[in-house]
Amino acid sequence: MDRQQSWRDLGLGALTATLVPGATRLPRATTPPEQYEAFYAATSSDRFTPIAVTRADGQQDTLYNLITTPDGLDNVYLTDRFVRHLVDRDDHREEFANYIIPSLQQPGEVWRQWGRAKDGRVLLNDVFVTAFPDRNAVLVVREDVKLGALAWTFFPVRNKQQQPDRFRTGKLLYRSDQDDER
């Protein structure tokens, strides 16, 4: 896992360009229900009828949107459990909810990486890396987890130790044409 190819190995420039204009930060919510509502409003679709499902691990969930990703990549179902996972924290991720769909539909790059779960399991992750006008990068990660379930998460890059370039390792699956100008 430590010997995965990086953006430097491929001769790519540092990820600094703005790739997806128009996504703006939302106001900070003051309570978890407000955080949930902000995420749901930013990521739901009136073109998709929510579907109640039983996941492979036996948990109940609701699929509430289908996001079409670039050709050659898997499409993404957003779930109620996804939103609840994101707002079950104190880091105000709801501010970046408007970035999720653009990160999936128009990523700057997508990398397939080997990783390790906290319990030692080896995982195969797809990492979507996208830069936005306000200089925050959003990573949307798909993890192949126990029993075939998919878990999605994202976070804003808030300091130099979290620069998006450090996540640009593995096998490069997709690169936006806009990246060619870098």
The residue ranking higher by pLDDT, 52 or 130, is 52
What predicted TM-score, i.e. pTM, was given to this entire model? 0.81
How do residues 66-113 score in pLDDT, each as one tens digit?
888 888 788 888 889 888 877 777 778 888 888 888 888 888 889 998
* DSSP letter for each residue of the chain: -TT--BTTTTTPPPS-S--STT--PPPPPSSHHHHHHHHHHHH--TTS--EEEE-TTS-EEEEEEEEPPSTTS--EEEEHHHHHHHHSSSS-GGGGGGGHHHHHHS-SEEEEEEEE-TTS-EEEEEEEEEE-TTS-EEEEEEEE-GGG-EEEEEEE--SGGG-GGGG-BSEEEEE-GGGGG-
How do residues 11-51 score in pLDDT, each as one tens digit?
988 765 555 666 788 899 888 899 999 989 999 999 999 99
pLDDT given at position 50: 93
| Span 128-143, average pLDDT | 74
